[in-house]
């Protein structure tokens, strides 16, 4: 997915850029012609996110012997865990935007935002009762409310009439307000707990449209978490995972 996403973004960038180079030769009335000359400006963003997990399961997963106290919410004499897979659900993001001009084509942006989302971990398990086996899927839902502090640097193309393109890269610090890392462990219903803090590297592409009264933009970005998020609590849901890191895709709309 990572490789295909970059290919799609590169194709979109090259296609639009080549198409608008020819149309730029036709002079049009410029909206807000001196907008990019301002030393700084502000705005806000609205976005749709997809929160993923980059997951690496434990080695030889199906050969691990699990003790009954490691799966208290699975009613079985014994279990065999075959696979663990993540799945996302759509969420949304809101935030404010501050842009500092660094040069003719370079900007620095600070966009504190609030993101709401949910991720799921799906465990494919075979349970045995009195010698009879049955395949089941157990799902653990993890809700996140992230306060994000991204610092991005972007390179803007030459303005093509009332249209522009840019590439961005940056870093981000996030705090998960819904993290259950410090929650009390239940003996009957296990909750998968995550680390509260994470650091990301971000990359993306954006398109800007200059209107009469403001600049409207749409942006696609990917963020990859650097921290190991999972808190190991010696149960089937955490001991089956060697590494769990965050991965976020964001489609946002900016009003500046």
In order of their start, the domains of the chain are 2-24+40-255 (2.40.160.20)
Burial class (CB in 10 A: 0-12, 13-18, 19+), 28: exposed
What are the tokens at 22? 């020819």
What is the per-residue pLDDT across 80-131, written as a single tens digit (0 to 9) for each? 999 999 998 899 999 999 999 999 999 999 999 999 999 999 999 999 888 7
User: Does residue 16 carry a pLDDT above 60?
Assistant: no
Task: State how far the Cα of 231 lies from the Cα of 237, in Å rounded to an integer.
Answer: 10
What is the per-residue pLDDT across 152-171, written as a single tens digit (0 to 9) for each? 999 999 888 899 999 999 99
Confidence category of residue 2, pLDDT binned at 50, 70, 90: very low
Mean pLDDT of the chain: 86
Residue 12: its pLDDT value, please? 54
Measure Cα distances from 247 to 51, 53, 119, 218 in Å.
6, 6, 11, 20
Indicate if the alpha-carbon torsion angle 139, 225, 88, 91 is positive or negative. Answer: positive
Task: State how far the Cα of 126 lies from the Cα of 137, in Å rounded to an integer.
Answer: 9
Residue 114: its pLDDT value, please? 96
Q: How many CB atoms lie within 10 A of CB 234?
A: 10
- Can you give the pTM of this predicted structure? 0.81
């Amino acid at each position: 997915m990572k490789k295909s996403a970059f290919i799609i973004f590169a194709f979109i960038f090259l296609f639009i850029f080549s198409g608008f180079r020819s149309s730029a030769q036709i002079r049009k009335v410029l909206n807000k012609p001196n907008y990019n000359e301002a030393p700084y400006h502000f705005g806000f963003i609205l976005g749709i996110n997809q929160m993923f997990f980059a997951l690496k399961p434990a080695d030889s997963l199906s050969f691990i012997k699990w003790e009954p106290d490691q799966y208290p919410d699975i009613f079985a004499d014994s279990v065999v865990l075959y696979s663990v897979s993540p799945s996302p659900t759509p969420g949304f993001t809101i935030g404010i935007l501050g842009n500092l001009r660094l040069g003719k084509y370079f900007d620095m942006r600070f966009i504190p935002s609030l993101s709401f989302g949910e991720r799921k971990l799906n465990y494919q398990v075979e349970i045995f009762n009195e010698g009879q086996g049955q395949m089941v899927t157990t799902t653990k839902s993890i809700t996140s409310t992230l306060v994000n502090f991204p610092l991005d640097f972007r390179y803007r193309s030459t303005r093509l009439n009332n249209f522009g393109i840019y590439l961005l890269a940056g870093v981000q610090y996030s705090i998960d307000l819904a993290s259950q890392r410090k929650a009390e462990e239940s003996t009957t219903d296990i909750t998968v707990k995550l680390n509260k803090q994470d650091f990301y590297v971000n990359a993306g592409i954006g398109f800007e449209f200059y209107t009469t009264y403001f600049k409207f933009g749409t942006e696609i970005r990917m963020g990859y978490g650097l921290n190991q998020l999972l808190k190991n609590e010696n149960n089937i849901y955490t001991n089956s995972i060697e590494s769990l890191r965050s991965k976020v895709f964001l489609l946002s709309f900016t009003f500046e």
